[in-house]
Chains A and B, each alone.
Chain A
Amino acid sequence: MNITLKLYASLGAFLPPGSARNTIELDVAEGASIGEVLALQNVPRGNCHLILVNGIFTPPVSADGKALSEGDTLAVWPPVAGG
């Protein structure tokens, strides 16, 4: 299935060289979990503090149990804040 992966801030380093706008399209196994997708890109899980699937918060601790669906957008940040 096809998903969109967005890795922001320092996690952008785990995208393939030449990726634009912190985004890549990925073809992953049907029902792949967030954890599996992050492992594919070698993203250190300890740095994944904010995980949004289609803009909706997913606690990092449940990343392994949460299956993605065709067309999902997974966006991940290290610890960030602002105001």
Chain B
Amino acid sequence: MGWTGKVLRVDLTKGTCAPEDLNREWADQYMGQRGLASKYLAEEMDPKTDPLSPDNKMIFATGPLTGTCASTGGRYSVITKGPLTGAIACSNSGGYWGAELKFAGWDMIILEGKSKKPVYLCITDDKAELLDASEIWGKSVWDTDAWIKTRHQDPQMHVSGIGIAGENGVLFSCIINDLHRAAGRSGVGAVMGSKNLKAIAVRGTGGVKVDDFPAFLAATSAAKEVLAGNAVTGEGLPTFGTQVLMNVINEAGALPTRNTRDVQFDGAHDISAEAMAEPSGKNGKPNLLANQACFGCTIACGRISKVNEEHYTVQNKPEYWHASGGLEYEAAWALGAATGVNDLDALTYANFICNEQGIDPISFGATVGAAMEMYEDGTLTDKDTGGLKLKFGSAEALTTAVELTGKAEGFGAELGLGSKRLCDKYGKPELSMTVKGQEFPAYDPRGIQGMGLTYATSNRGACHLRSYTVSSEILGIPEKTDPLVTDGKADLVKAFQDATAAVDSSGLCVFTTFAWTLEDIAPQVDGALPGNWSVDKLLEVGERIWNLERQFNLQAGFTAKDDNLPKRLLKDAAKTGPAKGLVSGLKKMLPEYYAARGWTKEGVPTNETLSRLAL
């Protein structure tokens, strides 16, 4: 009934796979995916656990709508304690893998312990076994995918796994499924690598039952009409993809540039959606070839691109001449604006390597940006970088760095620490553009004030996907707010955080919320699940999840001091654009936010708040 009711528990130390019943009481309180898996993690594991120790658990979790005919209902999340941040990590991915897990009859997989030798988990419907992965250890995501499908003679298998970055403990390594869809952030790939688990291959032949089929069909059909009829989800996202934001955010003066020294990038147009669609190179073909949808998605925002065959990165490497996933906005920003590189083919190549080896392009690009600033100010020398000339704007430096980072070779091993540890090591902590150790993404909090509060309070470290106030502050969805003021942002951020936590627990993609409100989502969840899933209940579940994650982090040792932004954003005013002269107003917003949340001045949920949320 939305849920399959079955959880697969895998003990990697003992080499066992055992089914167990889903905890229905928790499912009713936390819905699924992000919320429900966070509840399991919080209940089963000490938040102080070392993220790279065998004691850290890792949960691959679907939502009740994953694998159903709800539009975008193909999502899954990986929940664990993140090695980049030390906070609770929850990385969400699309593609087809999540739906396949559901078809095999599982709501989630809980992985614990550590295998003595490299293994992969192979699931075929209700059969699950750990198999030897020594032949694919050291191989890329792409080779692993092909090897597993060949070995099992099943091209319909879906594989989620790590490349060499996760094996090598790169702290921002990610988990990739279906070749280029990523559970991207917080270093979840390094946790998988630390467990000697290379991949999870799934083949499912069942379907997903829903509680009230006529109601579910009516709700999902009506919601699809809303997506199709909405100008953004019906036309904007499929045609231009997320990358259309590059010029928008640059014009709005909120594009963090060259390690956030500036808020506008003179090369923004060169790496934008518009540039991807322009003819390039001798053959006059554009970088962008097609759009692509994840499972069941009627939006299809994904980009499929190609590196120009004449480009220096691939000239003698025909293995990179094929079409693959990219560039999405966040990756293009991090690999481009954050490093000052405006070479679209170099960015596309770097993004391919990120997918091939399982690297989060946001954290990688932002870390290279910080290293470039340290190189230019003389903190890093050629001796430190092994001769890598990390100058802002150098495409060669970027593309060499990405190759070295996956392999953890030379200076790549240091880049793989992430910008916080790198900047700390070289005595320049102020140059790390991070919150709770995680690099922030493509929006400058001086030009979009709500994003400063979003980054500072995000439970998984700096992140745009915990409360995407850009939607309101820049795009006017669902209603326009002024990006340059702090008034009202505490409530706005809280509202986005709670609603997003609910969406992330349902199996749906958060991009639907450019068109859908919870009024569109609640009837779909209600049709799939037993019980009464109203808008109010979704909001209550979302708020409960947010507070559960907060409690986990407080118990892990975080305090209000960690709800902060890099000094640069609080002290150095934006130099150009609409935000010229402004810094982030975090100091004003944060106490308002704690009050709106029902937390103490120290950022701790009060007993009253906890009991209101049944925590």
A interface residues (Cβ-Cβ under 8 A, vs B)? 6, 8-10, 12, 21-22, 49-50, 52, 54-57, 59, 73, 75, 77-83
Contact = CB atoms under 8 A, between A and B. Distances in A.
Interface of B: 230-233, 235-237, 239-245, 247-248, 251-253, 269, 273-274, 301, 329-330, 464-465, 468, 470-471, 474-477, 480, 482-483, 510-511, 514, 577-578
A78 B231 contact: yes
Contacts of B241: 82
What are the 3 closest A-B residue pairs judged by CB atoms, nearest first? A82-B242, A79-B231, A82-B245
B253 A55 contact: yes
Contacts of B251: 6, 52, 55, 73, 75
A50 B476 contact: yes
B252 A52 contact: yes
Contacts of A12: 274
Given A80-B240, A83-B329, A83-B464, A57 B474 contact: yes
Contacts of A81: 232-233, 236-237, 242, 244-245, 471, 475, 477, 511, 514
Main secondary structure, interface of A, reads loop
Nearest to A52: B251
B428 to A, nearest CB: 30
B232 A79 contact: yes
Q: Which of A8, A49, A55 has the most CB of B within 10 A?
A: A55
A79 B252 contact: no
17 contacts: A8-B247, A12-B274, A52-B251, A52-B252, A54-B578, A55-B577, A57-B480, A57-B482, A73-B251, A77-B244, A80-B244, A81-B233, A81-B514, A83-B242, A83-B245, A83-B465, A83-B471
Contacts of A78: 231, 235-236
B269 A22 contact: yes
A54 B274 CA distance: 20
Contacts of B578: 54-56
Contacts of A57: 474, 476, 480, 482-483
A79 B514 CA distance: 11
A68 to B, nearest CB: 15
B237 A9 contact: no
Contacts of B480: 57, 59
Contacts of A83: 242, 245, 329-330, 464-465, 468, 470-471, 510-511
A77 B239 contact: no
B248 A80 contact: yes
Given A55-B252, A57-B480, A82 B244 contact: yes
Contacts of B477: 81
Contacts of A8: 244, 247-248, 274
Contact of A9 (B233, B274, B510): B274
A22 B274 contact: yes
Contact of B248 (A54, A59, A77): A77
A80 B301 CA distance: 11
A48 to B, nearest CB: 11
Contacts of A59: 476, 480
Interface centre among B245, B251, B252, B274 (most CB of A within 10 A): B251
Contacts of B274: 8-9, 12, 22
A80 B252 contact: no
A63 to B, nearest CB: 14
B476 A9 contact: no
Contacts of A55: 251-253, 577-578
B329 A9 contact: no
A21 B266 CA distance: 11
Given A55-B253, A82-B329, 19 more contacts: A6-B247, A8-B244, A10-B240, A21-B269, A22-B274, A50-B476, A52-B252, A55-B251, A77-B248, A78-B231, A79-B230, A80-B236, A80-B240, A80-B245, A80-B248, A81-B514, A82-B248, A82-B301, A83-B330
A82 B243 contact: yes
Contacts of B273: 9
